[in-house]
Structure 1
Amino acid sequence: MTPASAKAYIRNLAREEGFDAFGVAAPDAIPLAAPRLAEWIASGAHGDMDWMPETAPRRGAPRGLWPEVGALVMLGLNYGPELDPREALAARTRGTISVYARGDDYHELIKGKLKRIASRFVPRAGGDVKVFVDTAPLMEKPLAAAAGLGWQGKHTNLVSREKGSWLFLGAIATTLALPPDAAEVDHCGSCRACLDACPTAAFPAPYRIDARRCISYLTIEHRGPIPLEFREPMGNRIYGCDDCLAACPWNKFAALGREARLAAREENRAPPLAELARLDEAAFRARFTKSPIKRTGRARFLRNVLIAIGNSGDAGLAGEAERLVGEESPLIRGAAVWALSRLLAPEAFAALRARHLPAEPDPEVAAEWRAAA
């Protein structure tokens, strides 16, 4: 095959697999990515994500990851929701899960699609390929912008004129030198809807995010207690946050996602917080089988659920938090203390504190009891 015919062939294969966006980027298409990444890491904005500085030398440019790469085929799969996800924030006794995590784990689904494309492409077109879905040190968003799939908006995520903010990205790196596509230009203009929508002011400037302030980071990647200043702004967001994505005006062109396995499971649309608080380890793993939520682990997930319980304003949920004060995990115990301090009358909380504080073995949890007094 000629490079042009090989590109056309892989585009057809991608269409057959249900991908909604296609483009090709050259390996040297993102020369500013490495220095910008280094500056971001140096500022500490990556928080607990230790793998960011560890993989930065490979992440900064595709050839740092794979020296033989000749082109990167960037693919987008639409997962547009049927309703604005912010509507669920009003139901304070129920949890809000980010749209991307309400169905099956997109990593496995998209990787399967990419592998099937590769298995048909290589025998016909030649060369070697590697497939990537979000877990390898590859900067998918700037590469997707370079390939013409969209542009990185002021919230740093990819925005498409046809699909809005709702695109999963996958990449097929090939040793073939396929013809690259033109990069998409920035269409944000003077709009700052995404920046103003952030409940924790996680954007110190347009096109720059401080992960340490981002609810998606705090509820998924952050390993310790949620910092006090972000607990109330979290509301009932128990896994991720869609506010900046949902605020984008380009979503008026977004369509409902077509991939059934990415559609929201009914139990993940707006699950009752009381129900989630009762999940033991086995029940947690069973409920979130094939879900990205499973990777976060029960302790972090229940930490988030307890913060939401504390924000619910429903004293009827205090019993769920009180039961979790006896959990083995300090992360869960500390969040339970905070939730109880918000839901119980001062006298009832003081009595509970008198029973539990003297026997509390963890200094951070003990500090939660004292701070909430």
Structure 2
Amino acid sequence: MQTRRQFIQKAGLTTLAAVNLPFADSFSRSVFPKEDKVLRVAIMGLGSYGTRVAEAMRDCKRAKLVGVISGTPSKIESWKEKYDIPAKNCYNYENFDQIKDNPDIDAVYVITPNSLHKPYSIRVAQAGKHVICEKPMALNAAEGKEMVDACKKAGVHLLIGYRMHFEAKTLEVVKRQRAGQFGKTLFFQGLSGFIIGDPNQWRLNKELAGGGSMMDIGIYSVNGARYMLGEEPIWVTAQEVKTDPVKFKEGVDETITFQMGFPSGAVASCLSTYSLNNLDKFFLNGTKGFAEMQPSTGYGPIQAWTNQGPIEAEHITHQTTQMDEMAQIILEGKKPIIPVDGEEGLRDMVIIDAIYEAVRTGKKVELV
């Protein structure tokens, strides 16, 4: 690589540099643009979604996979080889606090079962590294608040894995809604569900997942209602249906329908289930038009249209865009159109807590 001095000499500018003319530094900045910093990320939890994120990061320009944290030695070995990860950047769940002494890791993406999000995120923060945590951020709002407080105390970012907040067609619908293209938006419908497989997986274990479909797929409709309507709900009602109490044990919800009310008078009607496929749809209706998305939150490509016709945008792997955008948030202070910080995740947890309370009591639950 050519040094600054070599470049100046070859360009016949040695005299310019020697006399230190006022514009010499500005000239050097123009011909030596500052390189964009790259966020160096370790992934914690090397399961199917961790693998999806790792593969997507191969195409990132601002984020790079540099480390792993896993309780399975064989996975660490295979990832070291596949992603060219140095041994010094590999940790297990017992010793990963040592990342505090590793200057080659900037952030850790926590992709573990839900019950481990809080303790591991707090440990990462206490080690002085930025935290990216998969959603839902915690088992409940109280845990989420602990995470937010811990990251603030440590002076690190806490971001939640809301990949849809960066998806092009989603953002276009949000921009049009905010611009008033649909008039006053008064209704949102969110349908989120699929038929879940292996009955022994952690997502059907209350201690690990914190619930059932609501803690997995239902959060998309909770979050989607908020960013599609551009408001925070003030009340919820909810009902649970369980057809298979063997597969869906006590505390593990199979299907929940829930409703939310908003200050403007808008309402949301949503469904979360582990027992039906072909449920991945958002519908937003206003006094002047509508927007519909189906699929709305899958890995893509997303399909979206309005009363004016289809929305066109290039499909880019969601996690690639997510990680590049999060790198700019952490490194440059970029402000996303839809927030992805810990407070955003905490708002969803408050609503999910209220939904579970509404199911338990059969009453409307007011949100403060």
Length-normalised TM-score, structure 2: 0.26
Higher helix share: 1
Length-normalised TM-score, structure 1: 0.26
Structure showing greater radius of gyration is 2
